[in-house]
Amino acid sequence: MPGHPKVLAKDLVKALIEQSRLFDPTYVFDERLETLTRHKVDGEEVWRLGGAMETHLSRSLVLTAGIGAFQPNHLDRPGVEKYLNNGVYYFVEDKRPFRDKRILIIGGGDTAVDWALNLKDWAREITIIHRRDQFRAHEASLAELRTTEIPIMTFWQLRRIDGNDRVETATIYESHTDEERTLDVDIVLINIGFKADLGPIADWRLEMVDKRHIRTDVFMETNLPGVYAAGDIAAVEGGEPLNLIVTGFGQAAVASNAAKARIDPDARMFPGHSSEMKLL
């Protein structure tokens, strides 16, 4: 994130909300939108977003739904379900239970590597195993991980988790030789990816590149007039998705200005600088 050598997601979100309040927006929380349909109001066609609680009318909208709702990929091994949320976790919602614990992290993506780095001075001991020798995590994070004393065991997988009223051991095995080892652990953190679901958005007649990405032009407009997409959900025609927060910020700025220019004939696509922007 530009301007932040390090920043927690919760702190970034808090700052973004505070910044957005400068424009006095209306927030609507805890509501799921189910439908997107075209309606005529006072002779003008607008978009109607329908939900279970109420509906919303808009001349334009920007979809920033990320990868949609997502659930972690579960690992079907003996002991995983038995100790779920009692020593076995797919998410870290609170770091306090990880304090001074022996942790086994399973995975090779950003989540696994980032939590290994985040917890390295918090936990008593960390071991990370991955079923391959190729990691999907960011190169810089992986390089930092390799400078630590955290053991990185490639081609190793979880066989089972054992204990009494709590997790006590994890048995792992090497994929090529079937060699087994039993590790004394208190916590097993499973980070092996997620399954994403766009939900009702997938039925809104938007042109999709695949099951996760909506096709847009360079102004972030979709095939539906006045409907834009930005961030992880968007795939700009002629390019490849670059799922970074900073990319999403840039796309959202393009989409917002394009939406303003579409509904206000006097608006310029580029307003000069952010303090000159009018509310949509």
Based on the domain organization, do 172 and 111 belong to the same domain? yes
Where among 172, 194, 216 does a domain terminate?
A: 194
Structure tokens at 272: 């000069």
Neighbours of 170 (CB within 10 A): 28
Full-prediction pTM beyond 0.85? no
Domain that includes residue 47, residue range: 9-68+198-276
Structure tokens at 252: 């959202």
Where among 194, 220, 239 does a domain terminate?
A: 194
Q: What is the pLDDT of residue 98?
A: 96
Q: Residue 165 domain-assigned?
A: yes
* CA nearest neighbour of 157 among 87, 102, 107: 107
Q: What is the pLDDT of residue 280?
A: 44
The secondary structure of the chain, three-state, reads CCCCCCCCHHHHHHHHHHHHHHHCCCCCCCCCEEEEEEEEECCEEEEEEEECCCEEEECCEEECCCCCEEEECCCCCCCCCCCECCCEECCCCCCHHHCCCEEEEECCCHHHHHHHHHHCCCCCEEEEEECCCCCCCCHHHHHHHCCCCCCEEECEEEEEEEECCCEEEEEEEECCCCCEEEEECCEEEECCCEEEECHHHHHCCCCECCCCCEEECCCCECCCCCEEECHHHEEECCCCCCCCHHHHHHHHHHHHHHHHHHHCCCCCCCCCCHHHCCCC
Q: What is the pLDDT of residue 13?
A: 93
Q: What is the pLDDT of residue 275?
A: 56
Based on the domain organization, do 180 and 229 belong to the same domain? no
Q: What is the pLDDT of residue 265?
A: 79
Structure tokens at 147: 């400078």
Contacts of 184 (CB under 8 A, 6+ apart): 102, 168, 169
Does residue 247 contact residue 271 with C-beta atoms inside 8 Å?
no
Q: Residue 224 domain-assigned?
A: yes
Based on the domain organization, do 81 and 142 belong to the same domain? yes
55-58 sheet: strands from edge to edge: 33-41, 44-51, 55-58
Based on the domain organization, do 209 and 266 belong to the same domain? yes
Q: What is the pLDDT along the chain (280 residues), one digit of tens a residue?
A: 889 888 888 899 999 999 999 999 999 988 989 999 999 999 899 999 998 888 999 999 999 999 888 889 999 999 999 999 999 999 998 999 999 999 999 999 999 999 999 999 999 999 999 999 999 998 999 999 999 999 999 999 999 999 999 999 999 999 999 999 999 999 999 999 988 889 999 999 999 998 889 999 999 999 999 999 999 999 999 888 788 899 999 999 999 999 999 998 788 777 666 555 544 4
Q: Residue 204 domain-assigned?
A: yes
How many domains are there within the chain?
2
Based on the domain organization, do 77 and 124 belong to the same domain? yes
Q: What is the CATH number of the domain that holds 268?
A: 3.50.50.60
Q: What is the pLDDT of residue 24?
A: 93
Query: Cα–Cα distance between 181 and 37 in angstroms, integer?
Result: 57
Where among 194, 221, 245 does a domain terminate?
A: 194
Structure tokens at 218: 């360079």
The dihedral of CA 137, 139, 145, 151: what is its sign? Answer: positive
